[in-house]
Structure 1
Amino acid sequence: MSSTHLPQLSPILVEDLVRMALAEDLGRAGDITTYATIGPEMTATAAMNSREHGVVAGLPLAVAAFRAIDPRVKVELLAEDGDRVAPGQALARISGPARSVLSAERVALNFLMHLSGVASYTARFADEIADTPARVTCTRKTLPGLRAVEKYAVRLGGGSNHRYGLDDAVLIKDNHIAVAGGVSKAIDAARAYAGHLVKVEVEVDSLDQMREALTAAPDVILLDNMDPATLTEAVEFNRRFHQLSGADYAKARARVLLEASGNVRLDTIRAIAETAVDFISTSKITMAAPTLDIGLDIEIG
């Protein structure tokens, strides 16, 4: 990923998350283990090392954790967010008052391991379809309080972001359709309510619903739990509806985009992408991502 296209984290967001995590960890009495065993005059030097192959994400939060505990702690970054790393690779060197290094260690690692896990798992999905036009995208299924940073990690792993919340895009789902009285009625109502900069997406679970949706001109149609054969039919119908040839279809801006969702796994995403849908959304890249094993090793001597 080009450095000019790397996602950025707001310093205010980082500070708020780190302070919340430190307050939770330090509790009312602080790090009593470290206070009891480490003298205030002692210093320490440590390295944060990756123990697995993966994609790094969360270094700004790790750095902020050490600095929030003690501005005297020095952190030298040896990697950048978005880097692919190997087992044994050092990500950062930390030095300073030993009490401060040890008290910040767990919060720093928690953010770094979790977000690197999200980025690494996303990269596995993205790599499976890297030679297709389709993009893997996340959902609103994120850990409470961590949505912004998890979506940041998804982008570092080569995925794309869906809406951040209920307020930045319209996504009409099956329950909305049932209450509104139909697909086209729900889309028309959304268009009448939302501003001209707000995208409108509608979820459908059949080709008949898709045909009705196309006549109401949403920006995106979410094809829910359709097998590859049905997805291929949906893409072909979309081509014919917009009167586009195969070559022009992928490049056309003035057409409805198609997003596939449901039953998306590492062993199924390739077949879904080969149907020529534009996006493939899955909650697995945030909700099922294993942490990346990263350790903080104190250097002795």
Structure 2
Amino acid sequence: MTPSRCPLSDDLLRALLHEDAPHGDLTSDTLPLAGQGAVAFTARGDMTLSGVEEAARLFELCGATAQAVRPSGAQARAGDALLHAQGAPRALLLAWKVAQTLVEGMSGIAGAVRRMLDALREAGCDVPLACTRKSFPGTRAIAARAVKDGGGVMHRLGLSESLLVFPEHLLFLAEADRLAALAALRRAQPEKRLVVEVGSADAALAAARAGAEVLQLERFTPQALAALRASLQAAELQPRLAPAGGVNAGNAVAYASAGADLLVSSAPYWAAPADVQVRFERRADA
């Protein structure tokens, strides 16, 4: 595998290795380890794969050779081989836990995204699932990669790329100036869609009249979303509706059926990790 096939950068992967062994592997460096070894990653249960190429690259960065058996985004069943690596024992032991934990965590996120999308498709709802930027700080690149592998999209990757006006922004604008400020913001950033988070139907209608192209509905119930959709249609307003806050696997279909244009969720980031079995083997000395 070449680095170009690995979506996460070598710098990021080296940082993960450095975090785990900032001054080397004290145990492995001290023991008189000899010979050559092999490592096999195997799925313990059904999973949506993510981070397998990155895991292989981690072994390579430590001096071993490695190959992802199945690509990220693929489905694996219990017992399926995921990754093979070969090399000196110190190299294999240095990469082992970081690589295993990365695949387990990323595959957990990807699996949660895939399950939500599968439930939506089975219900006949062709609605995108967009994950927020509320991944654990420092893990956004990893989380975004896992979301993609699960079939989802990113709601926004950060503050620099999109317009999202929160009520907290409006708090610092004079009430009489708010609607004009939204309209001016839309004119000032013509290439960006204006997204406004609202917490009530009245606020949603006001934002739509000010030119909001997407309404992020904070803690709306599916019933409230359906009622808002009807009110907007009656007013001949057509912003996209994106429920957020509390959207999860248990209510995704209800929101989509109520008329959501996309679902915004952070729930996949907190999914249980997948379970990967790791087996070491000693090979005959060269």
Query: Same-fold call, TM > 0.5?
Result: yes
For the residues of structure 1 that align with 2:257 and 2:48, how far apart are their CA atoms? 25
Once the two structures are TM-superposed, the CA of residue 13 in structure 1 deviates from its matched residue by 4.3
Displacement after TM superposition at 1:123 (Å):
1.4
What TM-score comes out, normalization by structure 2 length? 0.89
Instruction: Note if 1:222 corresponds to 2:216.
Output: yes
Question: Do residues 280 (structure 1) and 273 (structure 2) align?
Answer: no
Question: Are 1:42 and 1:99, in contact at CA under 8 Å, matched by a contact in 2?
Answer: no
Selected match of 2:247 from 246, 255, 264? 264
Q: Residue in 1 aligned with 2:15?
A: 20
Q: Matches of 2:187 and 2:236 in 1, distance apart?
A: 23
Corresponding residue for 2:158? 165
Choose 164-173 or 130-139, whichever is displaced more.
130-139
Cα 1:38–1:108 shift into 2, 3 Å = farther
Matched, 1:231 2:214: no
Name 2:41's counterpart in structure 1. 48
Deviation at residue 282 of structure 1 after TM alignment = 1.4
Is the Cα contact below 8 Å between 1:38 and 1:98 reproduced in 2? no
- 1:79 alignment partner in structure 2: 70
User: Kindly tell me: are residues 143 and 97 of structure 1, through their superposed partners in 2, closer, same or farther at Cα, counting changes over 3 Å?
Assistant: same
Residue correspondences, number: 276
Amino acid at match of 1:148: A
* Cα 1:38–1:60 shift into 2, 3 Å: farther
Name the residue aligned to 2:272. Answer: 290
Extract unaligned runs of 5+ from structure 1. 1-8, 244-254
Identity level (%): 26
Q: Equivalents in 1 of 2:32, 2:119: separation in Å?
A: 48
Instruction: Verify the 8 A CA contact 2:186 2:193 in the aligned structure 1.
Output: no
CA RMSD of aligned residues (A): 2.0
CA gap 1:291/1:179 in 2 versus in 1, 3 angstroms: same
> Which residue does 2:52 correspond to in 1?
59
- Specify the code of the residue in structure 2 equivalent to 1:124: R
Aligned to 1:180, the other structure's residue is in SS state coil
SS of the residue aligned with 1:298?
strand
Tell me the CA shift for residue 148 of structure 1.
2.0
Task: Measure how far apart 1:162 and its partner are.
Answer: 0.7
State TM-score, norm by structure 1: 0.85
**Distance in 1, Cα, partners of 2:62 & 2:242:** 44
**What's the CA shift for 1:280?**
1.3
The one of 31, 40, 43 aligned to 1:37 = 31
Runs of 4+ displaced beyond 4 Å: 9-13
Separation in structure 1 between the aligned mates of residue 148 and residue 195 of structure 2, nearest angstrom: 21
Maintained 8 Å contact 2:47/2:77: yes
> 1: distance between equivalents of 2:32 and 2:84?
20
**Distance in 2, Cα, partners of 1:213 & 1:114:** 38
Shift of 1:51: 1.1
Q: Which segment is superposed worse, 160-169 or 210-219?
A: 210-219
Cα deviation code 1:223-255 (max 9, x no counterpart): 111111110012223334447xxxxxxxxxxx4
- Residue 10 of structure 1, CA deviation: 8.5
3-state SS, counterpart of residue 168 of structure 1: coil
Which residue is 1:105 aligned to?
A: 96
2:119 is equivalent to residue 136 of structure 1: no
Aligned mate of 2:117, from 112, 115, 126: 126
- Please state whether the residue corresponding to 1:273 is helix, strand or coil: helix
Aligned residue identity for 1:14: S
Question: Match of 2:169, as an amino acid?
Answer: H
Report SS of the residue matched to 1:267: coil
Give runs of aligned pairs for residues 201-216 of structure 1, distance below 5 A.
201-216=195-210
